[in-house]
Structure 1
Amino acid sequence: MPSGDTYRPSVNQYPPSLQPKALTKILTRVTLLLVAVYFMFPIYWLMVSATKSDNGLIDSNGFWFAPQTVDGRDAGGFHLVENYQGLMETAAAGGHYWRWVLNSVFYSTAAALLGVLISVMAGYALSKFKFRGSGVVQAAIMGGLLMPIALLSVPLYLLFFQLGLLNNPLAVIIPSAVSPFGVFLGRVYVEASVPNELLEAARIDGAGEFRIFFTMVLRLLAPAMVTIFLFIFVATWNNFLLPLIMFTEPSLKPVTVGLYGMLAYFDPDKGQVLLGALMAILPVIIMFTFLQRYWRSGLAAGSVKG
């Protein structure tokens, strides 16, 4: 076997007592197929609906593309090009659609990068250092996991209003980066991936705490950091209420709030908004596609001892 390759035994190499039964294999595959259909079907519906006009959404089959006419009424046919042109030209968007997408990418990326650093540093401190009040801090973090984030929106608005940071990207980036769930994951991954013996050896060799953290700990936690990054990125991308109350300038809105404004305050073709929603999920899909290998290894960190 070439050096560096990972040995993965096939199922047939296990003894018969450990091999799954035929019925178990069939049920597992059927279950996985149903789960895949359950999660992929809304995306399929969105792809089909994004090609329709308002008349097509009402008169045609919801699970297939609209014909040109239905019972003598105009159903619009394949309306994708018209929907894209309308999305770019509508007064509601004001030419801001791609600006909204870039805003979402910037807010989510900045919050995720800052959140990863905060989560890993806090998790490392809580896991490897004993200090007065650490139990209270951990209890507060667990309490933060149980608190709905919507309850904090009004207090955060009042705080950033006093600081003069409304209509400022920091009003969304900072609250999104400080994630109790990210700190919890950081602590779990540090306990599973950073051995105390390695830290003690580095201290004996004269390395300082900052050097140990930035040159050793961060390398050991790279897969876990990708996992935390993706969680915070998606949470920030899907955040709606916080940017809704923090931003009034159209050019600062993320795509979630921008598309909501098109539906709430104007009367665009619904197909335009659905097309905008479909294109808005592409950056998240691309992010998961390129980082899924590290994400899987991060999720599995600590699952096997030794």
Structure 2
Amino acid sequence: MSHVTTASPAAPRHATGTAPRLRTPRRAHTPGRPRRSVLLTVLTGLVLLYTLVPLLWLVISATKTQEGLAGSFGLWFDGDFALWDNIRQTFTYDDGVFTRWLLNTLLYVAVGAGGATFLAVLGGYALAKFTFPGKRAVFAVVIGAVAVPGTALAVPTFLMFSEMGLTNTPWAVIVPSLISPFGLYLMWVFASEAVPTELMEAARMDGAGEVRTFFQVALPLLAPGIVTVLLFTMVATWNNYFLPLIMLKDPDWYPLTLGLNSWNAQAQTAGGEVVFNLVITGSLITILPLIAAFLLLQKYWQSGLAAGSVKE
């Protein structure tokens, strides 16, 4: 009689009776979820404070009287809330010259920045979509012009306009503002990616001329880039100080930057009236249109900056 022995199953490795300890898997990084960086958060907070603290000081100081500016803490309100009175005095002081400066600035921005944007769109589109002799030379000139600061050209520009008899006139500020090398280069790069060449060829095959192709086909596609260039040129013209300083002598043609500086300089002249509260209030009024423009055109501006960053 044969005995069949059944082999017992192998004993587990861990004979102590304790279950094996499993390693906790690391949490995988989700591609659509950005990583958190403490250093980046701290740096962003510092930049935010650096940006907002002067603006907060400006808003608070605009609510104070001339005496309150000297006798109260800069980042807190005074007992006398004088914002509306300061605004009224700003527009009525010195026979309402602030309104004239505001209209002058709007004129310089509308004609200068608007014209610079239009010329940049035309030039950038032509350089991006047409081939002609000397194109590389034009590219080198544009890049070189971007690298040259505007202050380096101020004195030669003044001498040239003085020979033409255009100093102390609005044209002395408007005409130099029409040239924007950075805007031209930005539109050149943007038009290269935003306007498909096949779409232009289809329009030409349908009988459209170059002018019609530009205004009806290319121009709508260039809208984000146009808004981006318009914002840059508008801010540059609105905050322009050095060029009007050497070109203009008549206070009636001053922009806001030069006019407010003349009010601020009154405190340093003998017998001059100190109107720091009006200078601060006027500065607050000056930046409000720029803030409104950025908020209203933000989506176009962001899409214009991101255009061409990803190649499909």
TM value normalised by structure 2: 0.82
Task: Supply the AA of the counterpart residue of 2:65.
Answer: S
Q: How does 1:110-149 map to 2 (within 5 A)?
A: 110-149=111-150
SS in 2 for 1:132: coil
Q: Is the 8 A contact 1:90 1:268 kept in 2?
A: no
Aligned to 2:171: 170
Q: Please say if 1:84 is aligned against 2:87.
A: yes
User: Is 54-63 or 189-198 further displaced after alignment?
Assistant: 54-63
In our comparison, the structure showing a higher alpha carbon Rg is 2
Identity %: 44
**Number of equivalences:** 280
Match of 1:61 among 73, 79, 89: 73
- Residue 48 of structure 2 corresponds to residue 47 of structure 1: no
| 1:53 and 1:269 in contact (8 A); partners too | no
Gaps of 5+ in 1: 1-14, 68-76
Q: Which residue of 2 aligns with 1:154?
A: 155
Measured after TM superposition, the shift of residue 125 of structure 1 is 1.7
**Counterpart amino acid of residue 194 in structure 2:** S
- Distance (Å, rounded) in 1 between the aligned partners of 2:158 and 2:254: 16
**RMSD (CA atoms):** 2.2
Among 256, 276, 288, the alignment partner of 1:270 is 276
* Residue among 280, 290, 302 paired with 2:296: 290
For residues 39-71 of structure 1, what are the alpha-carbon distances to aligned partners after superposition, in whole Å with 9 as ceiling and x for unaligned? 12211010111222344333321111134xxxx
Report the Cα distance in structure 2 between the residues aligned to 1:287 and 1:144, rounded to whole angstroms.
27
The aligned counterpart of 1:299 is 305
SS in 2 for 1:153: helix
Structure 1 SS opposite 2:289: helix
1:279 alignment partner, one of 282, 285, 289? 285
Match of 2:297, SS state, is: helix
Instruction: Map 1:33-44 to 2 at 5 A.
Output: 33-44=45-56
Return the alpha-carbon distance in structure 1 between the equivalents of residues 132 and 254 of structure 2: 42
Structure 1 letter corresponding to 2:87: Y
C-alpha change, 1:204 and 1:85, in structure 2 (3 Å) is closer
CA contact (8 A) 2:195 2:221 kept: yes
Which of residues 1, 12, 18 is equivalent to 2:31?
18
- After TM superposition, give the deviation of residue 20 of structure 1 in Å: 4.0
CA–CA separation in structure 2 for the residues paired with 1:17 and 1:87: 55
